[in-house]
Amino acid sequence: MKVAVGMNSCSLAAGAQHIYDHIEKKLKGSEIELKKVGCVGMCYREPLVDVIEDNTSTITTYGSVTEDMVDRIFEEHLMDGKPIEEWVVKRDWYEDGVRKTWDVDEYFSKQRKLIMENSGYIDPESIEEYLENRGYEALKRALKMKPEEVIDAITRAGLRGRGGAGFPTGLKWKFTREATGEEKYVVCNGDEGDPGAFMDRNILEGDPHRVIEGLTIGAYAVGASKGFFYVRAEYPLAVKRLTTAISQARKHGMLGRNILGSDFSFDAEIKEGAGAFVCGEETALLASIEGRRGMPRPRPPFPAQKGLWNKPTCVNNVKTLSSVPWIIRNGWEAYASIGTGKSRGTTIFAFAGKIRRGGNVEVPMGITLRELIEEVGGGTEKGVKAVQIGGPSGGCIPERLFDLPVDYESITSTGAIMGSGGMIVLDKDTCMVDVAKFFLDFTVKESCGKCTFCRLGTKRMWELLDSITSGRGKEEDLHELEELALTVKSGALCGLGQTAPNPVLTTLKYFRDEYTAHIEKRCPAKVCRDLIKYEVIGEKCTGCRACALVCPTGAAVGERQKVHTISIEKCIKCGRCYEACKFDAIEIKDLGAEQDG
């Protein structure tokens, strides 16, 4: 019998280290093995503890584990062999060598694990466990193929870049292979900077050898001898585990000279990014690796022709490279049989925002947004209003369009983009104008400033949104905002500037009535502070003083057991009184509408 504890960043943030330490003390002197694994994707149930039966290979997973729960799990399950069913959130078993999964939330019912098949099941710091799970088998196969045959397999599989643009991976590899030059490079783009996105981090922390294997196969296919993993420094655990994995791969002959006894030699190193969102754009990323300021340059020439130090360079995302080993092991036909249309295989989304089940999900292309958000993610407490997909470069898709399939063409048709996989779910209490302002504020701050359209255009767009959410907007501002957004979109130098207007354009398209309401000095969601006020409902107030105790400015006042009041002049609209009141005695009202009246 073994015990495994999920130990990715999401797990550690939920207290997994304390649980691991407590289990370690309980198992001291026992023959039961304790190990660390990555995240299986159920971030909303962390900390997760697995009990693995040696005789059946059944994995029983307990969720939201506390130290008190550990004591009972130890006594009843580990000692007496009786699982505590009311705490079980997931169970895995094997049928004919294939892993089957049941979970209490049906979180995995529509998922298909290709990229994340090992995450949450193996020790990410053990190359031996990776090898036991068919690790580096794809590399062995690839080295027996001609490079052109490897590229052909990736092309026929229909793999497209999972970093945002969806460019065909096989075609990018072909261009790099055919580029003139003996010295070539491959780069793994792990610069995951979207708010609410954590797919690449999950993979790098949970299954780093998979990414190394994918990059090495890519290097063999394009003819590169040197590679780089570009990972943001804000991911210290991912950097640590990737560093360990690279060292192990070298010792086992998976990196270095004459890999696995072949004529192919290749090695890779890590370059830590400083956190600039623009470095997710491949030409800016390459500039950063070279030691220059991360700023994009015009294309062509594309990196496949002139990349790192003007040598042919192939840049692929973490999820793209992680798909490669599965394709080579199982054949391009198997991969191409999954998905829909021009979008084959699976992709990973990171659920964030108001979603009930926050975490990572891997689903086949073609699943509908409704299935993904409401069935897999569990929807929201107050009803789903929209989803922001693709991060700051993406757009807001309203609930009425949720029956669309999740594929590159369908999502693009809405005005949004697939992006790298960030998915922020918004509920009925969300102000869509405020959402657009939030994401634009992010892109304004992350703009490298090289081109005028992005440097000044996004700033002017933000100023218009700020004016509208502050109650100072005019009807003509909407026309100016839309015209400016289209100008920035068509004129900006790189993908950051070209896609920065998407949140604005999609909210104007689908939620224009909310913009109009703000022009009328009303915020329908009662979010924008300059347009609302907090007021005590006298007949409901019990004088409990809960509001007065939490108010940071002394705006909420009153004697015990008497009706309280809130001073408009002192109130900063932080919402603490509203949250603290247990009697629904505080109401949020439209300030602008009353002023007009």
pLDDT at 70: 96
pLDDT at 392: 85
Tens digit of each residue's pLDDT (9 = 90 or more) over 141-154: 999 999 999 999 99
Contact 527, 559 (CB under 8 A): no
Tens digit of each residue's pLDDT (9 = 90 or more) over 286-345: 999 999 999 999 989 999 999 999 999 999 999 999 999 999 999 999 999 999 999 999
Tens digit of each residue's pLDDT (9 = 90 or more) over 413-435: 999 988 888 899 999 999 999 99
- Tell me how many degrees the CA angle 236-240-244 measures, rounded to the nearest 5: 170
Tens digit of each residue's pLDDT (9 = 90 or more) over 205-243: 999 999 999 999 999 999 999 999 999 999 999 999 999
Contact 249, 359 (CB under 8 A): no
CA distance 56 to 486: 59
Residues in contact with 510: Cβ distance below 8 Å, sequence separation at least 6, in sequence order: 386, 396, 397, 398, 401, 432
Tell me the CA distances in angstroms from 81 to 71, 86, 211, 293, one per residue in order. Answer: 14, 15, 37, 59
Contact 98, 77 (CB under 8 A): no
Tens digit of each residue's pLDDT (9 = 90 or more) over 540-549: 999 999 999 9
Strand-pair category, 422-427 with 346-353: parallel
To the nearest whole percent, how much of the chain has pLDDT over 90? 92
CA distance 197 to 175: 30
What confidence category does residue 593 fall into, taking pLDDT thresholds of 50, 70 and 90?
A: low
What confidence category does residue 592 fall into, taking pLDDT thresholds of 50, 70 and 90?
A: low
pLDDT at 597: 42
What confidence category does residue 496 fall into, taking pLDDT thresholds of 50, 70 and 90?
A: confident
* Number of other CB atoms surrounding residue 86 within 10 Å: 6
Radius of gyration of the chain (CA): 26
Contact 50, 3 (CB under 8 A): yes
Contact 112, 338 (CB under 8 A): yes
CA distance 219 to 235: 25
Contact 106, 377 (CB under 8 A): no
Tens digit of each residue's pLDDT (9 = 90 or more) over 456-476: 999 999 999 999 999 999 999
Tens digit of each residue's pLDDT (9 = 90 or more) over 354-376: 999 999 999 999 999 999 999 99
pLDDT at 594: 53
Does this model's pTM top 0.85? My answer is yes
Tell me the CA distances in angstroms from 266 to 50, 216, 260, one per residue in order. Answer: 37, 7, 11
SS3 at position 241: helix
pLDDT score of 164 more than 80: no
Going by the DSSP 8-state scheme, the letter that residue 527 receives in this structure is -
HSE, CB side, 13 Å, CA atoms: give it for residue 5: 24
Domains of the chain (ranges; CATH) run 2-109 (3.40.30.10), 132-333 (3.40.50.11540), 343-427 (3.10.20.600), 432-519 (1.20.1440.230), 529-596 (3.30.70.20)
pLDDT score of 87 more than 70: yes
Whole-number average pLDDT of the chain: 95
